[in-house]
Amino acid sequence: MTLAIVLESILTVLLAATLIYCIVLERRLASVRKGQEGLKTMIGELNAAIAGAGASLRALKAAAGSAAETLDDRLKRARSLADELSLLTSSGERIAERFDRAAKPAERTAPAHLPSGSVMHRLDALKAVR
């Protein structure tokens, strides 16, 4: 009988150790479950943030496309206005040359000072004569 009591004592101690280990294990599993719930929440928030970033990116692409179209339209208009201004400038130069040619015979009779420089100098000279 003493052997049976010793074996039962050893089994009791082992069962008590198993019980303590099960309690510790249960606590660890509970903390893992809590962490898992927090992780689920965090993943949900991350998905929402990714969806928001995607929507913002699409809106940014649309705005950039619209700005590019507006810029292209304005650039085309500016080029056409620059071409028109170039034509007007050359036309003005031709008119100024005609004025110079018309004024040269008048210089022989009455000396008048007409610069032969740029259009602005010619216009200033015409304003001064008036």
Q: Is 54 domain-assigned?
A: yes
What's the pLDDT score for residue 128?
A: 77
Q: Is 35 domain-assigned?
A: yes
Q: Is 79 domain-assigned?
A: yes
Average pLDDT over residues 83-94: 90
Q: Cα separations (Å) of 84 from 80, 119, 123?
A: 6, 17, 21
What's the pLDDT score for residue 37?
A: 85
Q: Is 1 domain-assigned?
A: no
Q: Is 6 domain-assigned?
A: no
Average pLDDT over residues 114-129: 65
pLDDT tier for residue 102 given thresholds of 50, 70 and 90: confident
Number of domains in the chain: 1
CB 117 within 8 A of CB 90: no
SS (H, E, C) 60-124: HHHHHHHHHHHHHHHHHHHHHHHHHHHHHHHHHHHHHHHHHHHHHHHHHHCCCCCCCCCHHHHHH
pLDDT tier for residue 111 given thresholds of 50, 70 and 90: very low
Average pLDDT over residues 7-20: 95
Q: Is 72 domain-assigned?
A: yes
Q: Is 4 domain-assigned?
A: no
Q: Does residue 17 have a pLDDT over 50? A: yes
Q: Is 3 domain-assigned?
A: no
Per-residue tokens: 52: 């928001």
- Domain containing 99: what range? 11-129
Give 30-84 pLDDT, tens digit per residue.
Answer: 988 888 888 888 999 999 999 999 999 999 999 999 999 999 999 999 999 999 9
Give the percent of the chain with pLDDT over 90. Answer: 56
pLDDT tier for residue 98 given thresholds of 50, 70 and 90: confident
